[in-house]
Chains A and B, each alone.
Chain A
Amino acid sequence: MAKSKIIDTDSFRRTVNRLAHEVVERNKGTENLAIVGIRTRGEHLARRLAQKIEEIEGKSVQIGILDITLYRDDLRGRLDQPQLKSTEILFDVTGKVIVLVDDVLFTGRTIRSALNALTDLGRPALIELLVLIDRGHRELPIKADFIGKNIPTSVKQEIKVMMIETDSEDGVYLIDTDNDEKEMSR
């Protein structure tokens, strides 16, 4: 299994900073803005972005955490049952501009689930998608608005995002596997 580092700690930080700037630029500030991270690494990424945006704009942004387990389209086909965790969105999403955050964009199925989960909570004015890595191989018509880095991959490869909140460091690795089956990024 070959493993190569494609983003190190410093460029990880710069990428998150750039993404935060892009979000406030596109949305002309933080008015009506809320950031929703998809468990688990999307949640950590959302917190980092919110902190950075607060530094840039001097205003705090609301954060929510989305658990998409109940909305997965592979819930019944799996042998291992994913642990259900809580969705923690304490504000009303109706009328808000929601920046949906995940670490890796791959088939798009996670985002499809997240969109259904979000719209079951209310009717946001706008939903934007922010991902740290876009690795291609979409199976649904989904496209990100903010992308940390585009990394063309083969389906045999795996992208591993490490974040200090759950792992030993901040960084992104590209891993070659012998696995012919598609590995879901989550």
Chain B
Amino acid sequence: MKLTSRHLLGLEGMSREEIALILDTAVSFREILDRPIKKVPPLQGKTVVNLFFESSTRTRISFELAERRLSADVVSFSTAASSVSKGETLKDTARNIEAMKIDMVVIRHAAAGSSHFLSRVVDANVINAGDGGHEHPTQGLLDMYTLREKFGKLEGLRVCIVGDITHSRVARSNIYGLSTMGAHVSVCGPATLIPRDLEQLGVKVYHRLEDIIPEVDALNVLRIQLERQKSGLFPSLREYHRFFGVTKEKVSKAPGPITIMHPGPINRDVELSADLADSEHSVILQQVTNGVAIRMAVLYLLGTSN
């Protein structure tokens, strides 16, 4: 069993077997993270370039750690320090990096489809670390891994994604991945932040947290991007918090405990109350640890297949 594509561009169209292979492989890498020596040799001699055209702390560090723990040679750059600020196109940047004989590229870019484009112009394996509002497959995978670790399975699990769905690549990857794995996915947020045709993907849409909270096993709370407030999609952070902020009080209406996830970084007491983020039902830090294991699994599966 191996992945059918040489690249990881998104979870849309990926088969159940492929997703299961990545999650199963990640279990082995998760064990390595608890060892005193957290390094194994399978990517020795491979060079990975992390191209981050958009700011990111967590994802970049997570990828870098995963690469180094597989013994790859790693080069990272971010926009501010690169020739992108001098007006170079993505294609030229990619070609130039490839001319330096690299094996894998991890790319984060503000334009949807940028990783697909890159995969067509370079020979290296391409991993999408977030392309605009399109997909963020490794985040979707680590969310699924965390849920599977917590509940033992994904089949039949009821997960609601809360917040700005329209602009969220995390939401999209979660919807594709979880649906493929047989989970029941719903979304909840203001009507202005939910795409109109979402129900075609088999996703139930809610506009009141009170309606969905009694019916879910887990809430995946998205970060409200503060910069969106200026565009008038919601009136104020205060109002957003009142209606869509996940709080202990709202969650207490559920018949049992609800697992809380968040892709980070958290705006405390905006989309998620601080006490809930730090509660025993929060798996937010497990998500971060599992992210390294998932990225190791993806890098390993793509980097060692011929």
Give A contacts to B, CB under 8 Å: 67, 69-71, 75-81, 83-88, 116, 120-122
Contact = CB atoms under 8 A, between A and B. Distances in A.
Nearest to A80: B2
A42 B259 CA distance: 40
A81 B28 contact: no
Interface string B5-37: 000000000000000000011011001100111
B306 interface: yes
Q: Quick one: which of A67, A75, A78, A87 has the most chain B CB within 10 A?
A: A75
A67 B2 CA distance: 18
Main secondary structure of the interface of A (DSSP, over half): loop
Contacts of B24: 83
7 contacts: A70-B40, A70-B41, A75-B42, A76-B306, A84-B25, A116-B41, A120-B37
Given A77-B306, A81-B304, 8 more contacts: A70-B41, A75-B42, A79-B306, A83-B1, A84-B25, A86-B27, A87-B28, A121-B35
A81 B39 contact: no
Contacts of A79: 306
B196 to A, nearest CB: 41
Contacts of B39: 120
For the complex of A and B, 5 pairs with smallest distance between CB atoms:
A81-B2, A70-B40, A86-B28, A70-B42, A84-B28
Contact of A122 (B36, B41, B42, B301): B36
B300 interface: yes
Nearest to B38: A120
A84 B241 CA distance: 44
A120 B2 contact: no
B51 to A, nearest CB: 24
Secondary structure of the B side of the interface? loop
Nearest to B31: A86
Nearest to B42: A70
Given A70-B40, A71-B40, A116-B41, A76 B304 contact: yes
A71 B39 CA distance: 11
Contact of A67 (B28, B35, B41, B306): B28
B305 interface: yes
Contact of B300 (A80, A84, A121): A84
B305 A81 contact: yes
Contacts of B25: 84
Interface string B270-306: 0000000000000000000000000000001100111
A152 B41 CA distance: 33
Interface in B125-180: none
Nearest to B39: A120
A81 B41 contact: no
A116 B71 CA distance: 14
A67 B25 CA distance: 12
B7 to A, nearest CB: 16
A70 B306 CA distance: 16
B4 to A, nearest CB: 12
A164 B105 CA distance: 46
B42 A81 contact: no
A109 to B, nearest CB: 14
